[in-house]
Structure 1
Amino acid sequence: MEQICIRLVKLDMLSIIRASNRFPSAIRCCGQRLFLRRASLCASDLTRTNSSVTAAASFCLRSRSRLNTCITAFRPAAERVPRIIQPTREFHTSGRLRALPAPLIWMLLKPLQKLTAIILGRSIRKWWIALPPNKKQLFREWTWRRRWHLVGAGTGLLFFVSICLLTHLDESPVTGRTRLLLFSRENFMELARVTGEAYMEEFKDSLIAPSDPRHQVVEQVVRVLAERNQDVAEISSVPWTVHVVDGPTINAFVLPDGNVFIFTGMLEAVADIHQLVFILGHEMAHALIGHAAEQASLSHVVELLSLILLTAIWAICPRDSFAVLGHWIQSKLVQFLFDRPFSRKLEAEADQVGLKLAAKACADVRAGPVFWQQMEIYDQLRGEPTIPEWLSTHPSHQNRVRQLDRLVPEALELRASCDCPALPKADPRVVFHQAVKLLLDNAKKQEQIAQEEKNEKERAGVMLPFPQSPPVLTQGSQPQRGGVLATSTLLSK
């Protein structure tokens, strides 16, 4: 048998299989990890079954390149032609490395981009200052002669940028608004997973157990919102997970991958379950619409365009101090003209969509405006300064209340179409206004009572006699009334 194996090595593989008619033929892969430095060929013995006699031949070719090709010949008795030949390779690979999400890479590159623009602009300024006057004149003439070429190049670049932006337009879920989206949903899902792991590490010592009643209430609200809005693909395709953080912060947020984070301070700030449904619907609206991806896309475009302006500032300003001032002004203009107005727009849209989600979950949508009225009073009681809306990333409480009041009738119609139970006749907004008015009247009455008591005490203090000391006469002074007896005594002396 060994001699046969040695001779078969020299033959072609196909001729080997055809020549071995006395062996049944089939192909299988040997799962052995034998790496020899010389090629070898081995054949197995004949095997028998209780019904018929079959033969098998196994050929395993091993070379120095660690390529294992293992062939086992098998063939039924009635058929003497080989069927399958499938060589396989064994590769030893390491574990997969997780690449950073594209949005995270762009965020990390922002400081480097600004630094590059500053260095480039400053280098251009230094080069121009060091240039002799005759070369400056030659450069101006060269630029003027090629002005149309430069205009054409700028126009082509602008056209290319416009095409890139137009090809990345997308339709917003639920609202159908056209928006710019440079990053895909998959990229932001990966970023959400990384962010969620970071938040879990940060809040690991303050997370409330799932058996806590507060956690169960939030989990039930999220489940109802997800079940009643199954027609929205972005909600039905995401597994929603609740995390309740024990902290006084009045905040809640939802990541695009369905991780819901809410602080106990928010649970204490809401007045009832309907306000909680509205707040969680608002945060889930941010996630399902993809506001984070949309805001990052616009921020990326504005950042790239501002780099050109930043380079020009550092190239034109005669001193570094002026360039630093221009850089600061440019960053504030971008912040107040683009970033914050767009953030307020997304917040208003989340209020609109969140109200619809709450309506389909059979919540009392009239409680939405009441929550922001409560937050306004709460800020006033804490003495927080009222800043103008154009300085904030969120709409003012008053504007939010007015917008929600306009959307409530439509939300009530949507709620009625979802076979929800009837709402009580008492409008929570009216009840809240009456309660606030009653509190203000009581506060005014208490203030008036306190002022009257203070005035009475002051009047009583004026009517009380003050203790008087006997008059003291000095030389040259005239005696006063009440001092007649003293005067006569002095004269008699």
Structure 2
Amino acid sequence: MRIFIYVVLLSGIIACSTSPTGRNQVKLFSSDTLNSMGNDTFAAFKSEQKVSTQRIENQYVQCIADALIPHIPTGTFDGDWEVVVFDDEQINAFALPGGKIGVYTGILKVAETPDQLASVMGHEIGHVIAEHGNERMSIATLSNLGLQITNVGLKSAGVTNKNQALMMAGAGLLAQYGVNLPFSRAHESESDLIGLQLMAKAGFNPHAAPKLWENMAAAAKGSAPPEWQSTHPANDTRIAALNAAIPSVMADYRAAANKPNCIQ
């Protein structure tokens, strides 16, 4: 167990970069690797899931994307972004390294206005801006390495098979609840803030972001797990954080030369 903890702590020591919000990050993979994986994953989504052919839906989502994309920091992706609407009732959207954005039609019923949908899409783009995919893969790699080293150490110490299984189960829980889930929640909170700034710069009203999460909470109908067991912060936590951050982005919103006119 001690060896596993040392490896997890090592992830903080080898952090060689910081996120857009100033948080230390561990990134073991190259941007080219992540872009290639994003391209492959998106191609698989398009081949396996139904793509919407509804002209109005596609124009609406593309309009919002077109307003957001010019404000994505230089270096995030050096090419043309691809935007696809998937005909599926799940309440979701995503963005991938390599300049890919996917929006499911189900989210269009929860994001009631263009500003609310911009907050969703800005959030998803925020994951790409902050390279969260790279960080999650890196943390998973280090966690798995820690578990492997712990297992070898227990065997070398002559721990019985029964006790070894119990200790490895404990190490696995530590990795999940002490490392993986907190990192995931940190990523979601960070993407909320990055997306808020992105939508403000694009001319979308930042006040729509907490309203979106009120709608999401209503759609969930109380089915979400406790925050400490979840990959995402609780809706109330997100709403409070977004409301607290809105004053810091209002100057960007007011300075936006053009307020997008995306018609649903």
How far is the alpha carbon of 1:234 from its aligned partner? 3.1
Counterparts in 2 of 1:55-454, with a 5 A limit?
Answer: 166=14, 169-172=16-19, 174-203=20-49, 206-209=50-53, 212-227=55-70, 229=71, 232-235=73-76, 237-314=78-155, 316-319=158-161, 321-380=162-221, 384-419=222-257
Paired with 1:355 and 1:179, the residues of 2 have a C-alpha distance of 21
CA distance 1:333–1:243, change in 2 (3 Å): same
How many Å separate the matches in 2 of 1:200 and 1:387?
Answer: 30
Cα distance change on mapping 1:328 and 1:188 into 2, 3 Å: same
Q: For 1:335-393, what per-residue CA distance to the aligned partner results, in whole angstroms no more than 9, with x for missing partners? A: 0000000000010000000000000011111010011111112222xxx4442110001
CA displacement, residues 183-236 of structure 1 (integer Å, 9 cap, x when unaligned): 111111121122122222211xx1012x62101111111111012x16x11356
Following TM superposition, by how much is the alpha carbon of 1:259 offset from its aligned partner in structure 2, in angstroms?
A: 1.4
- Counterpart residue type for residue 207 of structure 1: V
Structure in which a larger fraction of residues adopt helix: 2
Contact 2:193 2:242 in 1 (8 A): yes
**What secondary structure sits across from 1:234 in the alignment?**
coil
- Matched residue SS, 2:106: helix
C-alpha contact (below 8 Å) 1:250/1:269 kept by paired residues: yes
Separation in 2 of the partners of 1:298 and 1:236?
A: 23
The answer to whether the 8 Å contact 2:94/2:102 transfers is yes
Change (3 A) 1:233 1:386: closer
- For residues 410 and 420 of structure 1, do their structure 2 counterparts lie closer, same or farther at Cα, with a shift above 3 Å needed? farther
1:25 aligns with none
User: Contact 2:213–2:238 (CA<8 Å) still a contact in 1?
Assistant: yes
Rounded Cα–Cα distance in structure 1 between residues aligned with 2:250 and 2:80: 28
Native 8 Å contact 2:111 2:212 kept in 1 = yes
Counterpart of 2:262?
none
Equivalent pairs counted in the alignment come to: 252
Question: What is the CA distance between 1:402 and its match in structure 2?
Answer: 0.5
- What is the letter of the counterpart of residue 171 of structure 1? T
8 A contact 2:206–2:249 mirrored in 1? yes
Indicate conservation of the 8 Å contact 2:93/2:104, yes or no: yes
Q: Within 2, Cα distance between the matches of 1:163 and 1:224?
A: 37
Cα distance change, pair 359–164 in 1 and its aligned pair in 2 (3 A): closer
Shift of 1:252: 0.6
Q: Is the 1:352–1:407 contact (alpha carbons within 8 Å) kept by the matching residues of 2?
A: yes
> How far apart are the structure 2 equivalents of 1:378 and 1:163?
37
Query: Structure 2: which amino acid aligns with 1:393?
Result: T
Distance 2:193 2:11 in 1: 32
Q: Identical aligned pairs, as a percentage?
A: 27
Q: Is the 8 A contact 1:226 1:235 kept in 2?
A: no
Higher relative contact order (CA closer than 8 Å, sequence separation 6+)? 2
Counterpart residue type for residue 58 of structure 2: H
> CA offsets per residue over residues 72-130 of structure 1, 9 Å max, x none?
xxxxxxxxxxxxxxxxxxxxxxxxxxxxxxxxxxxxxxxxxxxxxxxxxxxxxxxxxxx
Separation of aligned partners in 2, 1:238 and 1:390: 38
- Alpha carbons 1:254, 1:260 under 8 Å: kept: yes
SS of 2:102's equivalent? strand
TM-score by length of 2: 0.87
2:196–2:206 CA contact under 8 A, matched in 1: yes
